[in-house]
Amino acid sequence: MKVLILGSGGREHALAWKIAQSPKCDKLFIAPGNAGTAQVGINAPLNISDFKSIATFVLENQIDMVVVGSEAPLVEGIRDYFDAREDLSEVTLIGPSKAGALLEGSKDFAKDFMQKNAIPTAAYKTFTAGETLEGFRFLETMKPPYVLKADGLAAGKGVIICNKIEDARENLRQMLDDKKFGQASQKVVIEEFLDGIEVSVFVLTDGKSYLLLPEAKDYKRIGEGDTGPNTGGMGAVSPVPFADKAFMQKVEDRIIKPTILGLQKLNILYQGFVFFGLIKVGDEPFVIEYNCRLGDPESEVIIPRIKSDLTDLFAAVKHQKIHEYRVEFETSTATTVFLVSGGYPGDYQKGKEITGISETIGSLVFHAGTKSDGKKIVTDGGRVLAITSFGTGITEALAVSYKNAAVINFEGKYYRSDLGNDLL
């Protein structure tokens, strides 16, 4: 079969690396891809929001399966576009419809969905442009810290947490009145702050049943000790020791099952990944957010832990036969350490030559922001490379990732050296 993956990050390189190993896959394309995906498949220079061009590419290249890595095309309705075209009806597309992707595309929709399905989440209220004063009044009823969330997609910057009510008010005003995040902050969710430890849980669903995938912990802040601004993710660990059997049972019963049922109640045929961004408060799980795709950097640890053939699982999704499958996981620990460009998540330079990748030993090096200029590989983004390693525990796996993090070089290279410390 021929497979097309849409996206260009570390998640898509991990997916491509895995799918390329399937004996069922004879040709693999990644659009637009990066220097890493070009080593396991063929990069196709497509705009992933241009559905017509993607459809033409799929037909011309007789693609059987399209795996949508990133959220933007899903929120924009790529699945609805494929479903509406009879000439694409045989194609397996992994990713939900526009209605399903609202779980990620609209925080207000997600909160309302959770409330209606009694899924544990922070108490909240949504305010629309013109309701700034009502928002101020609601803030008065809350305790600090104050959590403000732009309703729509805001490139990971749409959540603002303030300690002082004055700052919360000013941010709310900027979001609603000044359209700080454009359309995305037409509505703002204000919610209760939950104090706990985060974990990312993933399922693959065919719309009827689901398969639970390995969980992971992501490290979002740029600085050591979880300080400084948020990033796309500086590294990840899987499995997560505190997500033990008892906790995961609560997650399945109180969160995953009601979510799958809730989507069915809305007649949303959801065929793809659901990413549950959870927080453990005491011993109880709460949902912080949903995403309609896999996480990045979580993918760089969970995909290497999946032993089963992903193309089989994806085919089962289309035919709603996922309940017949069991997935096998690597039980040892996987860790990934992201090397990022100096200055990220603020301004940074691109085009720096990367050396040493071929000298690494014992790790998988997944590319994110890289490109090849024909002769050498250069940096092309804030998050550059994810170095994934296995070990009998977090310490052992991380030691390998860190050893190789020192072997790879580019001007301005930075990484966090304290990953996993909070779990030991």
Residue number, nearest CB to ligand GLY: 295
The neighbouring-strand residues paired with 230 are 221
- Please identify, using beta-carbon distances, which residue of 10 and 135 lies nearer to ligand GLY: 10
Measured distance CA(159)–CA(171) in Å, rounded: 10
Contact partner, 122, from ligand GLY, ligand AMP, none, Cβ < 5-8 Å per class: ligand AMP
Residue 295 in contact with ligand GLY, rule: CB under 6 A:
yes
Q: How big is the chain, counted in residues?
A: 424
Which residue blocks in 229-309 are alpha helix, DSSP H?
Answer: 245-250, 257-265, 299-305
Query: Exposed, middle or buried, 192 (CB in 10 Å: 0-12/13-18/19+)?
Result: middle
Residue 210 per-residue DSSP state: E
Residue 215 in contact with ligand GLY, rule: CB under 6 A:
no
Per CB under 6 A, the list member of 34, 291, 311, 333 interacting with ligand GLY is: 291
Contact letters for ligand AMP, residues 283-322 (x by CB under 6 A) = -----xx---------------------------------
Rounded to 10 deg, the angle between the 107-116 and 98-105 helix axes is 100
The neighbouring-strand residues paired with 414 are 340
Contact letters for ligand AMP, residues 239-278 (x by CB under 6 A) = --------------------------------------x-
- Please identify, using beta-carbon distances, which residue of 193 and 325 lies nearer to ligand AMP: 193
Give min distance, CB of 104 to ligand AMP, in A: 9
The neighbouring-strand residues paired with 201 are 276
- Please identify, using beta-carbon distances, which residue of 139 and 378 lies nearer to ligand AMP: 139
Contact partner, 193, from ligand GLY, ligand AMP, none, Cβ < 5-8 Å per class: ligand AMP
Select from 33-41, 42-50, 187-195, 305-313 the region that touches ligand AMP (CB under 6 A): 187-195
Per CB under 6 A, the list member of 64, 71, 191, 215 interacting with ligand AMP is: 191
- Of the candidates 11, 9, 6, 47, the residue with the CA atom closest to the CA atom of residue 28: 6
Give min distance, CB of 2 to ligand GLY, in A: 27
Per CB under 6 A, the list member of 298, 317, 341, 401 interacting with ligand GLY is: 298
The C-alpha angle with vertex 188 and arms to 187 and 191, in degrees rounded to 5, equals: 150
Give min distance, CB of 136 to ligand AMP, in A: 19
Residue 221 in contact with ligand AMP, rule: CB under 6 A:
no
Residues 6+ apart with CB under 8 A from 136: 169, 172
Contact partner, 235, from ligand AMP, ligand GLY, none, Cβ < 5-8 Å per class: none
Residues 228-247 interacting with ligand GLY (rule: CB under 6 A): 233
- Please identify, using beta-carbon distances, which residue of 79 and 111 lies nearer to ligand AMP: 111
Identity of the residue numbered 53: S
Select from 110-118, 189-197, 337-345, 377-385 the region that touches ligand AMP (CB under 6 A): 189-197
- Contact between 160 and 191 under an 8 Å Cβ cutoff? The reply is no
DSSP string, 1-38: -EEEEEE-SHHHHHHHHHHHT-TT-SEEEEEE--TTGG
Identity of the residue numbered 240: V
When computed from its CA atoms, the radius of gyration of the chain, rounded to whole angstroms, is: 21
Widest pairwise Cα distance in the chain? 60
- Contact between 221 and 419 under an 8 Å Cβ cutoff? The reply is no
Query: For tokens 């959870």, what's the residue?
Result: 278
Give min distance, CB of 304 to ligand AMP, in A: 23
Residue 194 in contact with ligand AMP, rule: CB under 6 A:
yes
Residue 12 in contact with ligand GLY, rule: CB under 6 A:
no
Per CB under 6 A, the list member of 108, 191, 206, 218 interacting with ligand GLY is: 218
Contact partner, 296, from ligand AMP, ligand GLY, none, Cβ < 5-8 Å per class: ligand GLY
Query: For tokens 């032993």, what's the residue?
Result: 307
- Please identify, using beta-carbon distances, which residue of 136 and 193 lies nearer to ligand AMP: 193
The neighbouring-strand residues paired with 287 are 121, 278
Identity of the residue numbered 161: I
**Contact set with ligand GLY (CB under 6 A):** 218, 233, 291, 295-296, 298
**Contact set with ligand AMP (CB under 6 A):** 122, 147, 159, 191, 193-194, 198, 220, 277, 288-289
